[in-house]
Amino acid sequence: MNDWHNFIGGKWVSGNSSINIENPATGEIFATIAKASLDDLEAAVTAARDCVNSRVLIDCKPAERSALLYRIATEIRGISQQGSELAVLENGKRLSDAQNEFNEAARYFEYYAGMADKIEGVSIPLGSDYIDYTVYEPFGISAQIVPWNFPVSICARSLAPALAAGNAVIVKSPELTPLAMTWIATACQRAGLPEGALSMLCGTGSDVGAALAAHKDINQIVFTGSVLTGRAILHAAAERAVPCVMELGGKSAAVVFADADLEQLMDSINWGIFFNAGQVCSAMSRLLVERSIYDQLVERIASFAKGLKIGPGIHNNDITPVMSAAQQKKVLHYCDEATQQGATLITGGKKPAGHKGYFVEPTVFGNVSPDADIFTQEVFGPVLAITAFDSEEQAWALANATDYGLVAGIFSTNINRCLRGTKLLKAGQVFVNEWYAGGIETPFGGTGLSGFGREKGQEALYSYVQTKNVAIKIR
């Protein structure tokens, strides 16, 4: 069995106790990781504070910080195969998707390496007696709390811009999937990141996670995870007025009009709800369909879902396991409840026979009422809820009828209608005719219960700096 360690102040540190890591495709424990204690957290905060006080990342030439980030990207590419195989074991995901995650992680470092030497303030004219300018300064210590569904890419998504801006970072890895992301710490170490600029701790949310969020020396919190935890972290942050980025859940809808290209739509449905077993914050978990094509489309989706191959991620199967026994139970509970709440089960809805791990059949529900829980709540599994609409106005209203607002999609060949929808849909990102269009270059984040602040793109860099204005009287 492999034993993994925490990365604290440039060193790998074992613990007094450990956390078992399970393979969701088999239910077997295959590794352990040191469970970070509150003393480990103190050590990480001290190392980060020393790094900030030394100003090693803040005062270096921006071009040097940029070069450091490029070196980290190269190191990530170098360990991507080992890391991806580990991600499949701990996360259950497809090998190809794990490889994409490492590739995306490297891209984040390259992208923000390109920005590290372009963090420019402005000069503000105040007349001949003054010189006034702004500078962007790092916050200091950025605490980053990561969820289990895409730990590698989400870790890189926040870490890369934070380092590009000159912050020191303490990452709290998810207790279910902490292993593959330790390779990001290894890449940073090999690339020569100064000691203390990154610590990575694995502990449970209720102890190390909560203590990190409430720590008096933390200057910023970046949280990606559930609404429930986000709320607890916001309470802790409020005590000390610490700025936060909140990347929370979603219940995103695709609106399909009768004139849509259905071939194109089927590919988006496949990625939108069945990729990573539907455990994606921006999953297409609701499909709103114009009534005239409802029966035809439901039949097509049912036959597509029935044809998907269920099995372990290492063989790149279509439907991989959900994360844990608890997640499987939760998803199946939503399915049972959906029928009781009047939805029609089209296909799936149960554990597939003959599989040892935590699999759930690709599931499609039709006639889902806007009052049903699978219409309003995040299921986080391969479960699609379909509802018919009769008018464009009703379509936008149904799409907006949840408390979330992460992403939304429109499928239509009528450009005017698509443009109207982009304005009326309540979401941080709107996809037109391709779910997950966009990339690391496009700002991402929510409205409503999906959170606030933006990750990805140039805009995200400014989540990691604060503006200082310098006003000088010259005579």
Q: How far apart are CA 54 and CA 44, in angstroms?
A: 15
Distances (CA, A) of 377 to 226, 338, 450: 12, 11, 12
Active site residue 281: yes
Q: Binding marks (x or -) toward ligand NAD, 375..394, rule CB under 6 A?
A: ---x-x--------------
> What's the closest the beta carbon of residue 260 comes to ligand NAD, in angstroms?
26
Which position among 247, 290, 361, 455 bears the catalytic label?
Answer: 247
Q: Which is nearer to ligand NAD, 144 or 268 (CB)?
A: 144
Q: Which is nearer to ligand NAD, 92 or 166 (CB)?
A: 92
Q: 3-state SS of 340-385?
A: HCCCEEEECCCCCCCCCCCCCCCEEEECCCCCCHHHHCCCCCCEEE
Q: Which of 73, 101, 98, 71 has the alpha carbon at shortest distance from 86?
A: 98
> What's the closest the beta carbon of residue 147 comes to ligand NAD, in angstroms?
3
- The reply on whether position 145 binds ligand NAD by CB under 6 A is yes
Active site residue 335: no
Q: Which is nearer to ligand NAD, 204 or 367 (CB)?
A: 204
CA torsion, ordered 69, 71, 74, 79, to nearest 10 deg: -100
Give the residue, chosen from 14, 17, 96, 206, that forms a contact with ligand NAD under the rule CB under 6 A: 206
Return the structure tokens found at 24: 């969701």
Give the residue, chosen from 174, 362, 409, 453, that forms a contact with ligand NAD under the rule CB under 6 A: 174
- The reply on whether position 21 binds ligand NAD by CB under 6 A is no
Under rule CB under 6 A, how many of the chain's residues touch ligand NAD?
30
- The reply on whether position 40 binds ligand NAD by CB under 6 A is no
Sheet with 198-202: list strands edge to edge. Answer: 11-13, 6-8, 198-202, 168-173, 141-145, 220-224, 244-247, 451-452
- The reply on whether position 148 binds ligand NAD by CB under 6 A is yes
Q: Which is nearer to ligand NAD, 102 or 148 (CB)?
A: 148
Q: Which of 386, 384, 385, 382 has the alpha carbon at shortest distance from 309?
A: 382
Only one residue has tokens 């450091």, namely 68
Supply the DSSP symbol for 312. -
- The count of other CB atoms within 10 Å of the CB of residue 383 is 26
Q: Binding marks (x or -) toward ligand NAD, 185..204, rule CB under 6 A?
A: -------------------x
Footprint on residues 211-250 left by ligand NAD (CB under 6 A):
213, 224-226, 229, 232-233, 247-250
Q: 41 CB contacts (<8 Å, ≥6 apart)?
A: 170, 201, 203, 208, 211, 212, 215
263 CB-contact burial (10 Å; exposed 0-12 / middle 13-18 / buried 19+): exposed
Return the structure tokens found at 372: 């049903």
> What's the closest the beta carbon of residue 172 comes to ligand NAD, in angstroms?
5
Q: How far apart are CA 88 and CA 297, in angstroms?
A: 33
Which position among 51, 202, 244, 281 bears the catalytic label?
Answer: 281
> What's the closest the beta carbon of residue 296 comes to ligand NAD, in angstroms?
31
R_g (Cα) of the chain, nearest Å: 23
Q: Which is nearer to ligand NAD, 279 or 347 (CB)?
A: 279
Q: How far apart are CA 444 and CA 407, in angstroms?
A: 9
Give the residue, chosen from 35, 65, 94, 172, that forms a contact with ligand NAD under the rule CB under 6 A: 172
> What's the closest the beta carbon of residue 133 comes to ligand NAD, in angstroms?
34
Footprint on residues 247-266 left by ligand NAD (CB under 6 A):
247-250
Residues in touch with ligand NAD (CB under 6 A)? 145-150, 154, 172, 174-175, 204-206, 209-210, 213, 224-226, 229, 232-233, 247-250, 281, 378, 380, 406
Question: Which residues are catalytically annotated?
Answer: 247, 281
